Amino acid sequence: PGTAQHGGIFDDTSLRLHRTKHEQFVRDAMHGLSSGFSVLDASQPWLAFWSLNSLDIMGRTIDSATRTRALQTVLRFQDPRGGFCGGQHQLPHLAGTYASVMALVLVGGDDAFASINRERMYEWLMTMKREDGAFAVHEGGEVDVRGVYCVLVVASLLNIMTAELVSGVAEFVARCQTCEGGLGPYPGVEAHGGYTLCALAALEIIGSTHVLDLKRLARWMSARQMAFEGGFSGRTNKLVDGCYSYWVGGAFSILQRALSRTPQDDLLYERRALQRYVLACCQDTRIGGLRDKPGKSADLYHTMYGLLGLSLAQHYVGVDPQTRISDTTSVYSVPARMMQWDVVASAADVVGVSSNVVKPVHPVYGVSLVPLAKCIKYFYALPPLAPSL
């Protein structure tokens, strides 16, 4: 309401995405980080994923040298027992596995895809499975909906979904919904924007978003957009943070499909306000990169998730309720339903200069549509581990 468009004094027509600076910020990080980043030793696949995905969303080329280096780096983390580690000589971890597989999706190519040991991956994932339907993130590790999300993303991409793998998942996720309406990491814990995205996306993959109280969820999510800043907070009575541009913004796109809403209904948050927050408050215009909020330092994590949120606010990516696939029993229904997500060009809404447009992304997987489609095409040409779910 404070913009010039509505009679205010804030002119957002000149807001600009500083793409070149952000690209340089990412490429500098890919060439080497200072010793202060040793705390991220167990997050090395994430550094690759955040970097590659940020470049791709901005439409920057992943050159052959970068591709080769990324492929060689990520494959060093693959454990012979299955899964990927957060670093060499560490335990395989669901989060590191998710980040590694998504990095390989962005690297692309048959050589990258063929390097993943699907059979060992499935065997390892099943060792993480618990009786309540959830997954431990590593041997003896914590249990929460992040693990569920990571497992279902990896399994749905690699064509290793089985009835045993998804057994009890929907019921576990449903128990994570709180009295507020959002979802926490596990039953009885406070609702949180990141876990809500993980929960909704996991249910979308298996076609089970109906197990949630969607109206109560919509009310909680709508309260996450800050009236003054335009960005999202992750929890009740918490401050705005740029990373929730995706964690909550992406969840809104999935909720849109779950509620059978159309582009004419638009999303249940103010898309332009979110774009203004990302462009006006989250960019480090001096050295590049995106940040949590003004006064904070830019980093690869907030750069990628800020760009993801910006993309989903610019583009309407959804599924036509009239043509949506309802089958959830065949393993092939998973890629069919996931690839129904598409861009509705007429519903695009870009704040600032026209060059601010970034690539549209899939809200469930958090990567652009073309590399995702190539990955699915490769793995679903291979025989599935089971004929039905």
pLDDT at 48 over 60: yes
User: How many angstroms separate the CA atoms of 275 and 297, rounded?
Assistant: 19
Would you place residue 4 in the very low, low, confident or very high pLDDT band (cuts 50, 70, 90)?
low
pLDDT of residue 186: 96
- Amino acid of residue 203: L
Share of the chain above pLDDT 70, in %: 98
Please say whether the dihedral angle defined by the alpha carbons of residues 229, 311, 186 and 90, taken in this order, is positive or negative.
Answer: negative
Q: From 165, 169, 191, select the one nearest 178 (Cα to Cα).
A: 191
Would you place residue 53 in the very low, low, confident or very high pLDDT band (cuts 50, 70, 90)?
very high
Share of the chain above pLDDT 90, in %: 94
pLDDT in tens, 236-288: 999 999 999 999 999 999 999 999 999 999 999 999 999 999 999 999 999 99
Q: Which DSSP letter does residue 317 get?
A: E
Please say whether the dihedral angle defined by the alpha carbons of residues 191, 194, 197 and 203, taken in this order, is positive or negative.
Answer: negative
Q: Coil, helix or strand for 100? A: helix
Neighbours of 145 (CB within 10 A): 29
> Poorest-confidence range of 10-14, 85-89, 131-135, 343-347?
10-14
User: How many angstroms separate the CA atoms of 199 and 169, rounded?
Assistant: 10
What are the backbone angles phi and psi of residue 129, rounded to the nearest 5°?
-70, 140
pLDDT of residue 76: 97
pLDDT of residue 11: 82
pLDDT of residue 109: 98
Catalytic amino acids? 192, 235, 238, 241, 243-244, 292, 299, 302
- 252 CB-near residues (< 8 Å, 6+ apart): 221, 267, 268, 269, 312
Mean pLDDT score across all residues of the chain = 96
pLDDT of residue 152: 98
pLDDT of residue 6: 60
